[in-house]
Chains A and B, each alone.
Chain A
C-alpha cells in the first residue's frame, strides 16, 4: 500500500537529532510493550509481516503523531482482539472477564526467554531456479498494490543491478495477505542515486534495496 510509512525520499521531517546517552527505554511502559510484543510472538498468532501491515494501516495522522511504542501497543491490542485472544470488552474493562479460549500452550514464562532473543529463519525451500543472477540489469516494477509490500515507492520503475542473491524467503506480500509463505528468491538490487533522484541526487552515492523476485523484470 502507498502509505505514509513508505518514507524514503520525502522532505520536511527536519534534521536527524541523535540523543546523547539515550536510554534503551524512555519510560517503563515502553519496555513492557516491547516485552509483550516479543512474548506474544512466541504464540505465533500472527507473523511479522502482519504486524508491520497493522501499523501501516493506521491513519496517517496517527502514524505521524504518536510515539513509536504507542503504535506497537495499539497494534498489539488490535491484533489480540482481532485474533480472539483478548476481547474488546476486556480492554474496555481493563481486566480479564473470561478464561482464555484455546490457549495453545502454557503461559510465556522464564523458560521461554531463549525463544525471543534469537531471530528465526525466513529461508524457505526454493520453488524453482532464480530468474536473475549477480550482475544482471533489472527493472523494478511500477505497481501500487493496496496490500502490504516491501518494494518502496522511491525504488519502483527503476533500473538497477543485482548485487547479491540471498536464497528463497517467505514473501511478505503474500504472508501479510493471509495467503501463506509463497517463497521467492530474494536479491540485493543496487541503484545509482541519479537513477532514483535524477539531477537532485548527491553525486557518487548508491542505494540498494532487498527485492523479491516478483518485484523485478529484466532491465
Chain B
C-alpha cells in the first residue's frame, strides 16, 4: 500500500494513492497542479493564511492575539510545568497526597509558580509494582495544562492503536524494559478527564532541591513511555 511515517508522525500514502477527493478539493481551492508532499506545505501555508485573513477582515480575530497563543504554546506552556509539580510531590508528602487526591486542586495551589490549571486533571503514581501509561485512542486528549501540546508520537496511529494492546512492546520502542512482575496500567482518556503520571523518584537524589529534581522529570516520564532520568544524567 505504500504506507510510511513521515516527519509529522502521520501516515502518508505515496502520491499514486492519494485519495481523489483530496486532489479534487485542492484543485477547487487553488490552482490545478500535481500534488506532491513538498507542495503540500506551500498549499497549507496559503490555505491557512487565506482563512486567517477572512476571519481578521470579518472582525472575528486579531492577528496579534494569534501570535500570542502560538508564543504561549511554544515558550510558556510545556512539560517544565509538570516537572515542577512532580518535583514538589517528590519532596513534599502532603503535596503528593493532595496531588493524588485531586490534581486540579493541588496544582492550582501552586499556580503562582506553574501557571493555570483547569478542571479534571488526575495524577496517577508509579511504584515498583505498578507502571502507568496514558493514551487517547480516539483522538489526542492530553494533559496540556501541565505538559503543553502533545508530541507527534502521542498522536500517531502507531501509539494510539498499540499501547492498549501491547504496552510492553510500545515501551520497548522507547527503550524502556520493566520487570515482568510490574503491572502495567494503561489509561485511555475517553472523556474530559486528563491523566498525568507521577514517575518514581530516582535513587541517589536524597536532599536534592525541587529545582534540581525537576531536571530529572521528562515529558515521557509523565506520560508513562519513559522513566525519570538517573541522578547521574543531571548536574
> Do the two chains belong together in a single complex?
yes
A19/B152 in contact, CB under 8 A: yes
Neighbour of A206 across the interface among B138, B140, B166, B183, CB < 8 A = B183
Separation in Å of the A144 CB from the closest CB of chain B? 15
A-B CB contact pairs (8 Å), 22 listed: A16-B153, A17-B158, A19-B9, A24-B148, A26-B8, A35-B67, A39-B66, A64-B13, A94-B54, A107-B56, A109-B64, A110-B64, A113-B65, A118-B145, A154-B137, A197-B165, A202-B167, A204-B180, A204-B184, A207-B186, A209-B190, A210-B188
User: If the complex has contacts A35-B66, A85-B60, are A206 and B185 also in contact, measured as CB distance less than 8 A?
Assistant: yes
B8/A68 in contact, CB under 8 A: yes
A17/B48 in contact, CB under 8 A: no
Across-interface contacts of A154 in B (CB, < 8 A):
137, 164-165
Chain B residue with Cβ nearest A108: B61
B185/A15 in contact, CB under 8 A: no
Separation in Å of the A56 CB from the closest CB of chain B? 8
Neighbour of B192 across the interface among A11, A67, A122, A190, CB < 8 A = A122
Query: Which residues of B from 167 to 182 have beta carbons under 8 Å from A?
Result: 167-170, 173-174, 180-182
Ranked 10 nearest A-B pairs via Cβ: A119-B118, A8-B137, A96-B57, A210-B191, A61-B19, A35-B69, A94-B50, A31-B70, A35-B66, A121-B119
A204 to B184, CA, bound (A): 7
User: What is the interface of chain A, defined by CB distance below 8 A to chain B?
Assistant: 5-19, 22, 24-29, 31-36, 38-40, 43, 48, 52, 55, 59, 61-62, 64-68, 70, 73, 76-77, 80, 85-86, 90-92, 94-96, 99-100, 103, 106-110, 112-114, 116-123, 150-152, 154-155, 164, 166, 169-170, 172, 186, 188, 190, 193, 196-197, 200-212
Separation in Å of the A112 CB from the closest CB of chain B? 7
Q: Is B72 an interface residue (CB 8 A)?
A: yes
A25/B19 in contact, CB under 8 A: no
Across-interface contacts of A96 in B (CB, < 8 A):
53-54, 57-58
A84 to B185, CA, bound (A): 45
Across-interface contacts of A107 in B (CB, < 8 A):
56, 59-62, 65
A126 to B9, CA, bound (A): 41
User: If the complex has contacts A64-B13, A64-B157, are A108 and B117 also in contact, measured as CB distance less than 8 A?
Assistant: no
A19/B7 in contact, CB under 8 A: yes
Question: Which one of A52, A96, A172 has the highest number of Cβ atoms from chain B below 10 Å of its Cβ?
Answer: A96
A65/B12 in contact, CB under 8 A: yes
A86 to B11, CA, bound (A): 30
Across-interface contacts of A100 in B (CB, < 8 A):
58-60
B161/A7 in contact, CB under 8 A: yes
Q: Is B155 an interface residue (CB 8 A)?
A: yes
Neighbour of A32 across the interface among B21, B48, B68, B145, CB < 8 A = B48
A202/B53 in contact, CB under 8 A: no
B119/A119 in contact, CB under 8 A: yes
Across-interface contacts of A55 in B (CB, < 8 A):
139
Across-interface contacts of A201 in B (CB, < 8 A):
165
Across-interface contacts of B73 in A (CB, < 8 A):
24-25, 31, 34
Q: Is B212 an interface residue (CB 8 A)?
A: no
A166/B61 in contact, CB under 8 A: no
Across-interface contacts of A27 in B (CB, < 8 A):
41, 44-45
Across-interface contacts of B55 in A (CB, < 8 A):
36, 40, 80, 86
Separation in Å of the A169 CB from the closest CB of chain B? 6
User: If the complex has contacts A32-B70, A107-B61, A108-B65, are A9 and B193 also in contact, measured as CB distance less than 8 A?
Assistant: no
Separation in Å of the A215 CB from the closest CB of chain B? 9
A76 to B21, CA, bound (A): 18
Residue-wise, chain B 29-66 has the 8 Å CB interface mask toward A (1 for contact) of 10000000000110011111111111111111110111
